[in-house]
Structure 1
Amino acid sequence: MSGVSTVVITGSGSGIGQATAARYLEEGAAVYGFDRAEAQPHPLPGGPGAWVPVRVDVSDPAGIAEAFETVEADRGGVDVLVTSAAVGFPEPFADMTVASWDRVFGINVTGTMLSIKAVLPGMVARGSGSVVVVSSIAGRTRSVANGAHYTVTKYGLIGLTRHLAAELAGSGVRINCVAPGPTNSPILTAATPQDEIDAIIARTPLRRIAEPEDVANVIAFVADDRRARQLHGAVLDVNGGLY
């Protein structure tokens, strides 16, 4: 993560987002953690980086604009954006409501769109910057823990990444996508009984589900302009061989 100084991570209050915040704090970055939670624990007490929690619902256009204005005022721009905020509900399609559909799309897709739109003007003006969109194995096949709305949003994030990779050609800004498999984080464990998790592990060639840190390390790699400078519009599967 050479040269990275300011990082914004959405969904930083738990799971992959929190682990990614800890990873960047270890490297000494200023990390702005966007989350809906009332309070966020410091992901890495005593780390050399600067931790700035920002309470915001990423699906709220006014709220997300204000949050990024805070970062701009403090730091003058964003080097890396990681969009990991997500929600999902284990609803059968027949029982799905428009309200739950809209909520999942609001956080997972609209929240990602609003966050990327907020950082791109500054990144393009500087001719540098990296965006990492967190999708899911659900965007490759289907969700193992959540409903159709979650699966559709995760497919959409892969499409958004690939479309923006083309639009950003020649700008100096890179955008890539990470698609984690089942991960030991609240979005899986809160909705999935242990026997089902055990069955997933049994189907996974590596015979384990990911820890959030496993995914955070891949995010940090793909965002790095030195180590991953030729990656643009890529989708990296982090799933232990589960397809």
Structure 2
Amino acid sequence: MNRLPGRTVLIAGAAGGQGRAGAVLFAREGARLALTDVDEAGLGETVDEVLAEVPDAQVLARRVDLRNLPEIAAFVAETEARFDGVIDVLYNNAGVNHLDAIENVTPDDWDRVYDINLKSAFFLVKYALPALRRSRAASVVNVSSGAGLLAPVDGNGVYCASKGGLISLTRAQARDLAPDGIRVNCLLPGPIETPMVRGFFAAMPEEERVAAEQHVVGRSLFTRFGRPEEVASMAVYLATDEASYVTSAIIPVDAGWTAV
């Protein structure tokens, strides 16, 4: 507790799942929060949960469409204005899925997934870079997926490609930002109990759903879904001084899901 007192953490994709869990865990560590998501109602619920846990937490929350680069830039600027011009941690957690056969995927489907899963992660760093450089110990945590390394089910090509790209982007960002003392790492969650994962299975035909869940969870050595806080706690660790020599790390949080 209290490993990040007074540090500013910007969380993209904060309306639920790993983003909401991260908001609570970072607040417990004394961090100031800048939260964004396109889901305004979910974002409000996250703020309520944070304040229920940490009543004196400093929280800025705004609806931002991560496909809209001017909105991203404006939110970063508002975060700087609110929190002394410094961003210490950028938690790139936003993500969407698209499940469909190759022949059915449209350019718009592709662009939506890539814009949110990969493009926004690049431009959030770009726009936040001046504020990250003002930090004494800046950290970027990108959230990819085990699907960036393997294809867990049929019809998952667009998502897999975007998450594989985020792994490569992490390595490139780590190299580019090392001279500024900014660490960049990447988490690869396995099957985690989040609204997005549940939506992923819900999009399948009913006759396929149970078998797909059993197949996906069965790869885990613990044969269960992970909890959002099990991913978010690793993001918190990577943001602390305890991880000061960790950069360009690609870390599965998946109970062996990608290893066996």
Query: What is residue 46 of structure 1 aligned with on the other side?
Result: 52
Residues 8, 78 of structure 1: 8 Å contact kept: yes
Is residue 179–residue 235 contact of structure 1 (8 Å, CA) maintained in 2? yes
What's the CA shift for 1:27?
A: 1.8
Task: Decide which of 210, 219, 237 is 1:203's aligned counterpart.
Answer: 219
Q: In structure 2, what is the Cα distance between the partners aligned to 1:51 and 1:125?
A: 20
Match of 1:62 among 62, 66, 70: 70
Please name the residue that 2:4 is paired with: 2
Q: Distance in 2 between matches of 1:91 and 1:60?
A: 25
What TM-score results when the alignment is normalised by the length of structure 2?
A: 0.88
**1:118-133 → structure 2 map (5 Å cutoff):** 118-133=127-142
| Aligned mates of 1:145, 1:240 — CA distance in 2 | 22
Q: Pairwise mapping of residues 1-243 of structure 1 onto structure 2 (< 5 A)?
A: 1-3=3-5, 5-39=7-41, 40=43, 41=45, 42-48=48-54, 49-76=57-84, 77-144=86-153, 147-192=156-201, 193-224=209-240, 226-243=241-258
Matched positions, count: 242
- Alpha carbons 1:34, 1:55 under 8 Å: kept: yes
Separation (CA, whole Å) in 1 of partners of 2:155 and 2:90: 25
Give the distance between the partners of 1:169 and 1:30, measured in 2 at CA: 24
Query: Structure 1 length normalisation: TM-score?
Result: 0.94
Task: Indicate if the aligned counterparts of 1:146 and 1:191 stay in contact, CA closer than 8 A.
Answer: no
SS of the equivalent of 1:141 reads coil
- CA shift digits 1:165-189 (9 cap, x unpaired): 1112221111111110111011111
1:146, distance to aligned residue in structure 2 (A): 6.3
Decide whether the 8 Å contact of 2:144 with 2:166 is kept in 1. yes
More displaced 10-residue stretch of structure 1: 35-44 or 119-128:
119-128
Q: Report the Cα distance in structure 2 between the residues aligned to 1:146 and 1:73, rounded to whole angstroms.
A: 43
Contact 1:59 1:114 (C-alpha < 8 Å) held by counterparts? no
Closer, same or farther in 2 for the Cα pair 1:240/1:6, shift >3 Å? same
Change (3 A) 1:199 1:165: same
CA distance in 1, matches of 2:80, 2:245: 27
Name the structure where helix makes up a greater proportion of residues. 2
Tell me by how many angstroms 1:203 deviates: 2.6
SS of equivalent residue, structure 2 residue 180: coil
Q: For the aligned residues, what is the CA RMSD?
A: 1.6
Segments of 5+ residues of structure 1 without an aligned counterpart are none
- Asked if structure 1 preserves the Cα contact closer than 8 Å seen for 2:8 and 2:89, the reply is yes
- What SS does the corresponding residue of 1:53 show, helix, strand or coil? strand
The share of aligned pairs that are identical, in percent, is 31
